[in-house]
A and B are shown apart, each in its own frame.
Chain A
Amino acid sequence: MSDLVNKRVIFPNAEGGVSVLVPAPNCGLTLEQIIAKDVPGDKYQIVDKSEIPSDRTFRNAWEYKE
């Protein structure tokens, strides 16, 4: 369960940008269950938290790529 803390899920959102899902480690669900419930569509990638840029200056310019 604690592994959820270091995981993120990225997916393209309806506004044309990319959303970064932050899972709640204490919700009682697995990451797969959270994805099935909270990620719209079937395009997503599970990444480590460290892979998300910490510089958010151009956050709205981020793009989702397969």
Chain B
Amino acid sequence: MSRIVLVNQSSTPDDAGSGNAQLFIEGNELYQQVGTGNKTKVANETTSTFTSPLSTPSVSAVNTCKVWLNYDHHNDSLKSSFNVSSVNDDSAGNFTINFATPFANSEYVVTGMGNGNNSDGNNTYAQYLKNHSDMATGSVKIVTQAPGGSDLDLLVNCIAIHGN
């Protein structure tokens, strides 16, 4: 196995020049610089490495999706999921996702897409957070609506959550 040793610079080196690029260490940080552009810090790769395979019920990996699920509210069926202990069907168009391992805080990011059963010939269904106060470390409440604004069970709820 070979290795590359980077020497700590006391100051920013000269530009790499057109068509070239360089890596260097300055102040214990790793930087890259391309052509005559500005230097940019390179992310600490040791903090963005998978620490466990996603096939196990672990959420120790950082910078990865911590929760995902495909939930059929219309037939009350959890088709697939990761780090979900259960889904509560609370009422028409309202459900709660319970996390198997909670987040460190409630400042996570929820993204999702959904679709109804198409019986009304309309695909413009809404999917949103019920209330910001319902974003807890261990669960989150979701509401889905028909185009007219009434709460409606969607056939497909695809949701992914990122956070700490």
A→B interface (CB under 8 Å): 8-9, 13, 15, 17, 19-24, 26-29, 34, 37-38, 49, 52, 54, 56, 59-60
How far is the CB of B117 from the nearest CB of chain A, in Å?
11
13 CB-based A-B contacts, threshold 8 Å = A13-B90, A15-B90, A17-B91, A19-B90, A19-B91, A24-B86, A27-B57, A27-B83, A28-B100, A38-B86, A38-B139, A56-B153, A60-B92
Check A22–B89 contact: CB distance below 8 A: yes
Check B86 against A22 for contact (C-beta < 8 Å): yes
For B, the interface residue count at a CB cutoff of 8 angstroms equals: 26
The tally of CB-CB contacts under 8 A between chains A and B is 76
B77 within 8 A of A: yes
Q: Check B92 against A19 for contact (C-beta < 8 Å).
A: no
Interface, chain B (partner A; CB < 8 A) = 57, 69, 71, 74-78, 81-92, 96, 98, 100, 138-139, 153
Please state if A34 and B90 are interface contacts (CB–CB under 8 Å): no
Please pick, from B76, B82, B88, B91, the residue contacting A38 in the complex, using a CB distance under 8 A: B88
- A34 B57 Cβ-Cβ under 8 A: no
User: Is there an interface contact between A27 and B153, defined as CB atoms closer than 8 Å?
Assistant: no
Whether the Cβ atoms of A22 and B78 lie closer than 8 Å is: yes
- B85 engages A38 (CB within 8 Å): yes
Contacts of A27 in B (CB 8 A): 57, 81, 83-86, 100
Given B85, B89, B91, B92, which contacts A24 in the complex, CB threshold below 8 Å?
A: B85
With the chains together, A52 CA to B76 CA distance in Å? Answer: 9
The reply to whether B85 and A59 contact each other, CB–CB distance below 8 Å, is no
Bound Cα distance A20, B88 (Å): 5
Q: Assuming A37-B98, A38-B98, A38-B139, is B86 touching A23 (CB within 8 A)?
A: yes
The CA-CA distance from A1 to B91 in the complex, in Å, is 27
When distances are taken between beta carbons in the complex, the residues of chain B under 8 Å from A38 are 85-86, 88, 98, 139
A23, B87: Cα distance in complex, Å? 7
Q: CB-nearest residue of chain A relative to B83?
A: A27
